[in-house]
Structure 1
Amino acid sequence: MRRTTFHRAALAAASLLLLAGCGSQSGGGDKGSGAVSPKPTPTPTPTATSTPTPSASGSSAGCTPLTSELTTADSGRTFCLAQDGTFRVTLTGSEQRPWKKITTGGDTAALKPMNYGIMLRGGDAGAAYQAAAAGTVTLSATRPLCAEPTAPGGVSCKGIQEWQVTVRVK
């Protein structure tokens, strides 16, 4: 009979190494360190294209004056916009994790869609609006949380990243 102790031990060690490697991420700069890069700090947003009616506290009823552009960093926030004010929404995605079309809900007559005016890359979503009437509108979009596997047997997930903002037209 042939001894298989060495082969079994080597197979067990290789299995442990494979399992230890699953689920690990390599950061951008520290290859192999296992360190996760810190969350990026948001950049200041551009100045507003319209002037909302501020209250005595400087903001209008618990909402932020809407700037010229909304991005993925603005998700979950509420903005105020004066009638006839305009703004863009730019959601940067990728071919592997594309954003779905931006949808509106609520008082949809409060925002009038406009020509976005810029060609988007694959995976990005964009829209432009003008405040047409008083009301509250919810803008939303989704995209896959994980890229689809590129090879048979690849790891995948069913998670969805949601983006949503509320716009109050005064």
Structure 2
Amino acid sequence: MRRTTLHGTTILAAAVLLLMGCGTDNDAGQGNAGGRSSTVSPSPTPSTPAGPSTSPGACTSQVQLNADDSGRIICLTRGGQVRITLDGTKERPWKPVAISGSGVLRPINAGIVVMPGDANVAYEAIASGTATLTSSRPLCASPTAPGQVSCMGIQEWTVTVRVR
């Protein structure tokens, strides 16, 4: 019978790997998994340039939003632009982005559809005020054959835009 012993380097390597896992940024257990409710992002998202839009009370002139930005509140300067790119699929299409708060934002394009299921649109901030942008899509693809499972869930997307 062969006896196995752990060497110091094996223990050291295991300790290093264990410590590497500690301190990673993980959102697990922080609640509100669907979106952010603060007035600014906790940190810049890849789709939003860092800078004035991430400082409390500051407004920016350009913002790019995607599906991950649902729940955000952004601030635009008058004359600024917000561009929205919601990538969907033919089976799970985004509805066209709707706007509430008349007279605050004006569409720059009519909502270009690059791929079936996408919702892409850009708005210009034309007056001070608040507008809400919304869209939604099915959580599951519709059944393609009788007897397949379907769900009635809806993924909602909403962003509040304040113009100063």
TM-score by length of 1: 0.63
Contact persistence 2:60–2:80 (CA under 8 A): no
Q: Quick one: structure 1 residues 117 and 164, their matched pair in 2 at CA, closer, same or farther if it must change by over 3 Å?
A: closer
Q: Quick one: structure 1 residues 142 and 118, their matched pair in 2 at CA, closer, same or farther if it must change by over 3 Å?
A: closer
Q: 2:80 aligns with which of 76, 85, 96?
A: 85
Structure 1 position 136 matched with structure 2 position 130: yes
SS in 2 for 1:68: strand
Contact persistence 2:130–2:162 (CA under 8 A): yes
Q: Quick one: structure 1 residues 66 and 95, their matched pair in 2 at CA, closer, same or farther if it must change by over 3 Å?
A: farther
Gaps of 5+ in 2: 1-27, 34-43
SS in 2 for 1:82: strand
Contact persistence 1:70–1:89 (CA under 8 A): yes
* Matched residue, 1:161: 155
* Matched residue, 2:57: 60
Aligned pairs for 1:24-63 within 5 A:
44-47=46-49, 58-60=55-57
SS in 2 for 1:73: helix
TM-score by length of 2: 0.65
Structure 1 position 149 matched with structure 2 position 143: yes
Rg (Cα) greater in structure: 1
Gaps of 5+ in 1: 1-37
Q: Quick one: structure 1 residues 77 and 43, their matched pair in 2 at CA, closer, same or farther if it must change by over 3 Å?
A: closer
TM superposition shift of 1:44: 2.1
Q: Distance in 1 between matches of 2:76 and 2:139?
A: 31
Paired residues, what number? 123
* Matched residue, 1:15: none
Structure 1 position 114 matched with structure 2 position 108: yes
Q: 2:95 aligns with which of 100, 105, 118?
A: 100
